[in-house]
Structure 1
Amino acid sequence: MTRKVVIVGAGVVGAACAFHATAAGMDVTVIDRGPVGAGTTSRGEGNILVSDKEPGPELSLARLSRTLWEEAAQEVGPETIELEPKGGLVVASTEESLRSLNAFAARQAACGVRVEPVEHVRDLEPHLAAGLPGGVHYPQDAQVQPVLAAAALLDAAVARGARLLTGEVTAAAADRGGRVTGVLTASGDVLQADAVINAAGTWGGEVGRRLGAPIEVLPRRGFVLVTEPLPPMVHHKVYSADYVANVASSDEGLETSCVVEGTRGGTILIGASRERVGFDMTPNPAVLTTLAAQACRLFPSLKKVHLIRAYRGFRPYCPDHLPVIGPDPRLPQVVHACGHEGAGIGLAPATGALVTAHLLGHPWHGADPAAYTGLLPDRFFTQGGASK
């Protein structure tokens, strides 16, 4: 069994890995060059979704993660992480899109997802536009406050003996046979470990390269708008049916699909955009205008609401739009846990459990490595794979 682990990344995925590894009795050190949750985690909406996942390993991971978020909340306190089982409502704008949505939901239902077709969507969300042909309600969708969640998971890990360090990993430490024995830091320290977990989010590709196990994790920029505080008017996570197609797209150009949800503070969050522009953080007013217009078409009452800010960040994605989770076949002591795109917050607990299961060599908290071979790094090293 792996005894000593270094986790690179203190976002929500790294925090979840520490949470589960320490629960399994491992000696854990978490290192990040910045504060807890300061990267992609701080730029997310906190979504815990099953509604946007095609049947396959990611949907299975999402279903497990939904359960593990509940378990984690019981330990750290639901209010601490602001866990809200608000449910999701996916709405169609045309009869054709409704047929596609219902077919998609039927495939999910066959995998155990709870789906509830809705003929009159304004019964659930009275402020929606009139004339929408229908939608699907997903009662299992939920939300957390992402930075609070990452901090709470790490606090629990530290209470079990984990160490949290600020620093930058520059390379892997290795023995004469090339076996990874830890990491080297920019300050010249060596952190010894039996395994190194790459949970660096959008920078997972660079961290993998530094460890000698490069993996193709790319940034995909997204913007989110924030309104002034309002009385409660959006009760679920509401998004248009084309959102799922945009998530799965590999197009480099700008894609937008309407996502609207309320927060406990009364503000409304409006997304979502996706574009491949590297790590360019330049504001794009055209994107903000498009998102606002789409939200107003879905919720006409938003036309009279003021925006108070917009924020942006990068989603870490792999070319096949699945996260990469498991030991690297070139350096088995390096375990990847990145490339979740916009689903990292929702999938974090199950990712942490799956990584821990790989380290233990047997299932852990419902995560069985044999059930998630489709997420292994090996898939990139077969003929025609994405990484070299």
Structure 2
Amino acid sequence: MQQPDVIVVGAGMVGAACAEALSAAGVRVLVIDRDGPAAGTTAAGEGNVLVSDKEPGPELELALASRFEWETVLSRLPARVADVEWETKGGVVVATGDPAPLQAFAAKQRAAGVDARVISAAEAFELEPLLTPRVTAAVHYPDDAQLQPVLAATALLAAVRERGGEVRSGVTALGVRRSASGRVVGLETTDGVIACGAVLNACGPWAGAFSAEAGAPIRVLPRRGVVLVTAPLPPCVRHKVYDADYVGAVGSGDADLQTSTVVESTRAGTMLIGSSRERVGFDSSMRVRVLQELARKAVGLFPFLAEVAVMRSYGGFRPYAPDHLPVIGADPRVPGLWHATGHEGAGIGLAASTGRLVTELFLGLAPHVAAEPFRVDRAAVIEG
């Protein structure tokens, strides 16, 4: 391979999506990861591609664009890896108390362009017959989708390789090499210095640490989440279903444990049960009380789950920016250093448009969504 135009540091979903979009535009790309493709946050994800869980604003605009950009991206994948379990199953958000807050939230989303259909409890039972009878109202989101995140990330990287790019596992980025004028001319790694034209920091929850090593620190913190996985079941939950508390948990900056009920099926028949959010640094220990709370709340939403065996649980760290917006774009302090991180639990869904946006900015093209809200030099993110 010739000297890469861009080295992407991080082979998770966001890094893979950026590399795929850049390579599709003719940019020479090298992807490195200290572990391997999809080995970190991506492997601990549920694969959600959602528009239902975001307040109107820049992140929702990015999510709406990304939901349909995903279909374009998937159409570019090599046929041998194209099946990433893409399911346009839709979502159902339910209220079990006062329905007014959920209905008001849906109204705001509709005004922002989301297909959010307020339905009665009876209509919710038609969509999901096994729901608790305590449901008072619901909102149906036909555009919510799901994919298998590890399959998708590795498929994106396969597309990069097919276009002449390269992916190297087991290589750790240590910092950037800069010219006398301060511009990035290489990446310092455990394999030595690799010459390049630019470096993209797509290190997920470790992006803050790498940014400091690169001489341009940003505030990106880890936020831990845990998922329960049931034994395989016959088809029984048709949509992604969650309670109305989920939206508040997504947008909260509280460091303490927060849980809300999220239940969805996979193609293999297992049920994924979430979700939790907790700022505990990089402590990976599994806490029984978190698992118990997830299970209890899931049974409250779908009572039949009380008789279903939990097969395993897994957890991971999500990259969290203090203002709840991704960090996407060039770093003004170090010419040639770029960032794509801070998506927290929405990285799978936002990855397609993040990759497109990075590519547009890198090539000087008009961005398909407003880039300004995600800029690196905003007060909540930049350090130093």
- Give TM class, smaller chain: over 0.9
Residue deviations 1:15-67 (CA, integer Å, cap 9, x gap): 11111101111111101011100000000000000001111111111111111
Show the counterpart of 2:241.
Answer: 238
Distance 1:3 1:312, change over 3 A: closer
Show the counterpart of 2:177.
Answer: 173
Q: CA deviation at 1:387?
A: 2.7
Q: Does 1:48 align with 2:44?
A: no
Show the counterpart of 1:387.
Answer: 383
Residue 217 of structure 2: which of 209, 214, 219 is its match? 214
* Preserved contact between residue 91 and residue 141 of structure 2 (Cα < 8 Å): yes
Q: CA deviation at 1:386?
A: 5.8
- Give the number of aligned pairs: 377
* Preserved contact between residue 217 and residue 382 of structure 2 (Cα < 8 Å): no
Show the counterpart of 1:24.
Answer: 25
Show the counterpart of 2:16.
Answer: 15
Q: CA deviation at 1:3?
A: 7.5
Between stretches 299-308 and 114-123, larger displacement belongs to 114-123
Q: 2: distance between equivalents of 1:83 and 1:182?
A: 37
Show the counterpart of 1:255.
Answer: 258
Q: 2: distance between equivalents of 1:283 and 1:3?
A: 40
Structure 1: which amino acid aligns with 2:290? V
Residue deviations 1:283-324 (CA, integer Å, cap 9, x gap): 100000000000001000011111010001111110011110
Q: 1: distance between equivalents of 2:351 and 2:366?
A: 17
**Shift >4 Å, 4+ stretches:** none
Distance 1:157 1:79, change over 3 A: closer
Helix, strand or coil at the partner of 2:160 = helix
Q: Does 1:185 align with 2:185?
A: no
Structure 2: which amino acid aligns with 1:109? R
Q: CA deviation at 1:332?
A: 3.1
Q: 1: distance between equivalents of 2:168 and 2:311?
A: 35
Residue deviations 1:321-370 (CA, integer Å, cap 9, x gap): 11100111211311110010000011001000000011001136xx25xx
Show the counterpart of 1:319.
Answer: 322
Show the counterpart of 2:136.
Answer: 133
Structure 2: which amino acid aligns with 1:14? G
Structure 2: which amino acid aligns with 1:372? A
* Preserved contact between residue 231 and residue 310 of structure 2 (Cα < 8 Å): yes
Q: Does 1:83 align with 2:83?
A: no
Q: CA deviation at 1:165?
A: 1.3
Residue 198 of structure 1: which of 178, 196, 201 is its match? 201
Q: 2: distance between equivalents of 1:177 and 1:79?
A: 43
Q: CA deviation at 1:170?
A: 0.4
TM-score, length basis structure 1: 0.95
TM-score, length basis structure 2: 0.95
Show the counterpart of 2:36.
Answer: 35
Helix, strand or coil at the partner of 2:306 = helix
Show the counterpart of 1:358.
Answer: 361
Distance 1:13 1:22, change over 3 A: same
Q: CA deviation at 1:380?
A: 2.6
Q: 2: distance between equivalents of 1:65 and 1:341?
A: 15
Structure 1: which amino acid aligns with 2:210? V
Q: Which runs of 5+ in 1 are unaligned?
A: none
Q: 1: distance between equivalents of 2:289 and 2:180?
A: 54
Show the counterpart of 1:376.
Answer: 375
Q: 2: distance between equivalents of 1:44 and 1:296?
A: 21
* Preserved contact between residue 319 and residue 386 of structure 1 (Cα < 8 Å): no
Show the counterpart of 1:116.
Answer: 117
Helix, strand or coil at the partner of 2:76 = helix
Q: CA deviation at 1:123?
A: 1.2
* Preserved contact between residue 8 and residue 32 of structure 2 (Cα < 8 Å): yes
Helix, strand or coil at the partner of 1:380 = coil
Show the counterpart of 2:312.
Answer: 309
Residue deviations 1:77-107 (CA, integer Å, cap 9, x gap): 5961110000010101111xx2111111111
Please provide the CA RMSD for this pair. Answer: 1.5
Structure 1: which amino acid aligns with 2:371? Y
Helix, strand or coil at the partner of 2:83 = helix
Show the counterpart of 1:148.
Answer: 151
Q: 2: distance between equivalents of 1:139 and 1:5?
A: 37
Q: 2: distance between equivalents of 1:197 and 1:277?
A: 27
Between stretches 98-107 and 253-262, larger displacement belongs to 98-107
Q: 2: distance between equivalents of 1:284 and 1:190?
A: 41
Show the counterpart of 2:67.
Answer: 66
Structure 2: which amino acid aligns with 1:174? R
Q: Does 1:102 align with 2:106?
A: no
Helix, strand or coil at the partner of 1:80 = coil
Show the counterpart of 1:275.
Answer: 278
Q: Which runs of 5+ in 2 are unaligned?
A: none
Q: 2: distance between equivalents of 1:300 and 1:363?
A: 50
